[in-house]
Amino acid sequence: MRPNTHFWFSVLLLHFTEPFTSAKGKFNVLFITADDLRPSLGCYSDPFVKSPNIDLLASKSTVFFNAYAQQAVCGPSRTSFLTGRRPDTTRLYDFNSYWRESAGNYTTLPQHFKENGYHTFSVGKVFHPGITSNHTDDYPYSWSVPPYHPPSFSFEKRKVCKDKDGTLHSNLLCAVNVSEMPLGTLPDLENAAQAIKLLKSMKHSGGPFFLAVGFYKPHIPFRIPQEYLKLYPIENMTLAPDPDVPKKLPNVAYNPWMDIRKREDVQALNISFPYGPVPKDFQLHIRQHYFAAVSYVDAQVGKILQALDDLGLSKKTIVVFTSDHGWSLGEHGEWAKYSNFDVATRVPLIMYKPGVTSPFPRPGEKVFSFIDVFDSTQQPFGKGFSVRSMVELVDLFPTLCSLAKLPVPPSCPVPSFSIPLCTEGYSLSRTLVTDHRAVAFSQYPRPSDSIQINSDLPDLADIRIMGYSVRSDDYRFTLWVGFDPVHFQANQTDLHAGELYVLSEDPGQDNNIFYDFTYAQLLQKFSLHPQWTESLKQHLMFFRAASKTKWTV
């Protein structure tokens, strides 16, 4: 079990979920998720990124500063938080199976709301498309009507990126004139418009709704309106603070960023495999385009929030904003996701409940007003509630049920493959008091100890090693162990490698001290740290018993 939080956290969350009943019935839910968005936002203390609309939402909300995905890749992460179960229970580590057939007939988050009287709608990328959601986005189980996919998304990977000579390419960097695009628009512009259309249709419907909106950006390619680059002049861009591969990083832990290597503009650079590096000037352009994509998403979020307010729905709608995982921007010499580092696993998580995280507005008072990022002056962020303890995306399912006063799924037994409705997360509204801080767990599969072209995203049949990682306030600790893809089992006695980063000394997770100490030396070193948690001691004991040797290599 995951240890819970200190007393102050429990008191905060008691207030976060204090009883309230809407005069017109149940609370609606607006669930917004971005794709590949790390917490590079103003409300997460990033003064460089311009995100005024998400920051406004955060100022009325509870902001979870340390929220973590369970696997840093789209399909497995989305399946995990939408079912409330970890990848080892969904049995999805790639994009090639549907949990209802390969694992169990699990009830999903929107399905649970639908079965409790909600109209449920999906816009854009909510479930990962394809086999992982049965080519239907799990309709009709999860949704009242067929999910909406923007028509312009079919052009996302085509040669629509204009080079300096006017020729079209399939590039990583793809800032465009929207009027020149096929259909004269972009997917996330269509997503925002469709979400607003649905909100208008639901205003007088009489029943509560669960509207999930999945934006495609800042996922690559960076096909975004070109004007957003103006927010981030290239001369103001800087490299990642730790752009080098850590010297003591085991090969099995490294992500060789194959997905960006496949883009035409990156291929033209002839970057060596697996470490590169990417030329510094191109690194700056990647970072510029990523941040511009974040501001582009922020603008779409602002449009939806203003519509929610203009329609009088903000007084009775719970709003959640999050992402499926993060994205490396040159840290540790890596790009993309596909790892257990914080830059890949940490996500924004913002929750708004009217009358609880923010007072009910007076008649005529605005809650959300669209802020044009091009006209706004970045102001110091006025925080709502701030939570620093570790939380996980599997906590979303039980927490949203609690906020909406729906039955909260029980905790899953082990195993739980035959149990349709249960959760491996924890409702963040529980008022449990312990002496331990929370921890968060993530994992990532690899095909071998050496770096291969399929190291980023191995198919299930090729997985031979699983990296299980625990993150606390004080450390990130990862064990890479043997894995049997036929029986979905990890061999905890087959240790391949390890990582240990002490965050008080190494906040960027650049110095792996796993191999620097014997077991006894490591315990002695950390006995001086009062915040050394019992959970890591248990991991150390496990490793010692499994390896039956000293930690030295």
Answer for the pair 321, 333: CB distance below 8 angstroms, yes or no: no
Looking at residue 39, what is its pLDDT?
Answer: 98
pLDDT number for residue 410: 96
pLDDT at 359: 86
Question: How far apart (Å, rounded) are the C-alpha atoms in residues 154 and 160?
Answer: 11
Burial class (CB in 10 A: 0-12, 13-18, 19+), 357: buried
Could you tell me if 315 and 24 are in contact, meaning their C-beta atoms sit under 8 angstroms apart?
no
Work out the average pLDDT over 181-203. 97
Q: Residue 179 is which amino acid?
A: S
Please give the residue that has the higher pLDDT: either 502 or 421.
421
Which residue in 104, 103, 95, 107 sits closest to 133, CA to CA? 95
Inform me whether the pLDDT recorded for 269 exceeds 90: yes
* 431 or 274, higher pLDDT: 274
Burial of 548 (0-12, 13-18, 19+ CB in 10 A): exposed
How much is the pLDDT for 2?
Answer: 44
> Greater confidence, 379 or 12?
379
Average pLDDT over residues 411-425: 94
Average of per-residue pLDDT across 67-72: 97
Residue 188 makes CB contacts below 8 A (sequence gap 6+) with 124, 150, 215, 216, 217, 296, 297, 300
pLDDT of residue 399: 95
What are the strands, taking DSSP E only, across 99-170? 119-124, 161-162, 168-169
Which helix (H) or strand (E) segment holds residue 317: the answer is: strand 317-323
- Please choose, from the candidates 523, 456, 469, the residue with its C-alpha nearest in 3D space to the C-alpha of residue 497: 469
Side chain identity, residue 114: K
Residues 113-144: pLDDT tens digits? 999 999 999 999 999 999 999 999 999 999 99
- Clarify whether 422 is annotated catalytic: no
**Dist CA 185 CA 178 (whole Å):** 6
- Spatial separation of the C-alpha atoms in residues 73 and 92, rounded to whole Å: 11
Residue 30: pLDDT above 80? Answer: yes
* pLDDT of 7: 29
Which positions ≥6 away from 178 have C-beta within 8 Å? Answer: 184, 185, 186, 189, 225
Catalytic residue among 112, 119, 128, 219: 128
Name the H helices within 230-278.
258-261, 264-267
- Please state, in angstroms and rounded to a whole number, the distance separating the CA atoms of residues 333 and 254: 9
pLDDT at 439: 83
Share of residues in the chain with pLDDT > 90 (%): 75
Confirm if 77 and 99 have CB atoms less than 8 A apart. no
How many whole angstroms from its chain centre is CA 435? Answer: 28
Distance CA 69, CA 77 (A): 6
The answer to whether residue 182 scores a pLDDT higher than 80 is yes
Tokens 């999910």 belong to which residue?
Answer: 147
Closest by CA position to 38, among listed 290, 410, 397: 290
Where does residue 177 rank: exposed (0-12), middle (13-18), buried (19+ CB within 10 A)? exposed
- Phi, psi (5° rounding) for residue 296? -65, -45
Question: Percentage of residues in the chain with pLDDT exceeding 70?
Answer: 86
The CATH fold of domain 7-156+172-256+279-403: Alkaline Phosphatase, subunit A (3.40.720)
With b meaning 16 or more CB within 10 Å and e meaning fewer, what string describes 453-481? eebbbbebebbbbbbbbbbbebbbbbbbb
Cβ partners under 8 Å of residue 313, min gap 6: 28, 199, 202, 203
Say if CB 341 and CB 332 are below 8 A apart: yes
Instruction: Give, for 377, the enclosing helix (H) or strand (E).
Output: none
Close Cβ partners of 80 (under 8 Å, ≥ 6 residues apart):
69, 70, 71, 86, 87, 90, 92, 393, 394
Does 529 have pLDDT greater than 50?
no
52-59 and 280-310 helices, crossing angle to 10°: 50
* pLDDT band, very low/low/confident/very high, at 532 (cuts 50, 70, 90): very low
Residue 45: name the closest of 34, 58, 32 by CA.
58
Model pLDDT, residue 139 = 98
* 3-state SS assignment for residue 491: strand
Q: What span, in angstroms and rounded, lies between the C-alpha atoms of 504 and 4?
A: 21
Write out pLDDT tens, residues 442-498.
999 999 999 999 999 999 999 999 999 989 888 898 989 999 999 999 887 888 999
| Two tokens, residue 179 | 């009027």
Q: CA 131, CA 31: separation in Å to the nearest integer? A: 23
pLDDT digits (tens, 9 = 90+) for 282-339: 999 999 999 999 999 999 999 999 999 999 999 999 999 999 999 999 999 999 999 9
What pLDDT score does 18 carry?
40
The whole-number average pLDDT for the span 350-373 is: 89
d(CA 417, CA 252): 30
Q: Which of 64, 70, 111, 551 has the alpha carbon at shortest distance from 350?
A: 64
* Whole-number Å distance between alpha carbons of 208 and 186: 30
Rg of the chain, C-alpha, whole Å: 23
| Residue 8 pLDDT level (bands cut at 50, 70, 90) | very low
Confidence of residue 364 (pLDDT cuts 50, 70, 90): confident
- Per-residue confidence (pLDDT) for residue 108, from 0 to 100: 98
Report which of residues 77 and 553 the model is more confident about: 77
Gap between the Cα atoms of 460 and 131, Å rounded: 14
Domain ranges in the chain are 7-156+172-256+279-403, 440-547
Residue 204 among the catalytic residues: no
User: Can you tell me the distance from the alpha carbon of 87 to that of 293, in angstroms, rounded to the nearest whole number?
Assistant: 28
535 vs 523: which has the higher pLDDT? 523
Six-digit token pair at 227?
């004007």
What mean pLDDT value characterizes the chain?
88
Least confident of 171-185, 243-257, 379-393: 379-393
pLDDT of residue 396: 97
- pLDDT confidence of residue 435: 29
Copy the structure tokens of residue 230: 């103006």
5 pLDDT band, cuts 50/70/90, is very low
Q: How many residues does the chain have?
A: 553
With CA atoms as reference, report the closest residue to 503 among 463, 464, 532, 546: 532
Q: Which of 74, 161, 412, 422 is catalytic?
A: 74
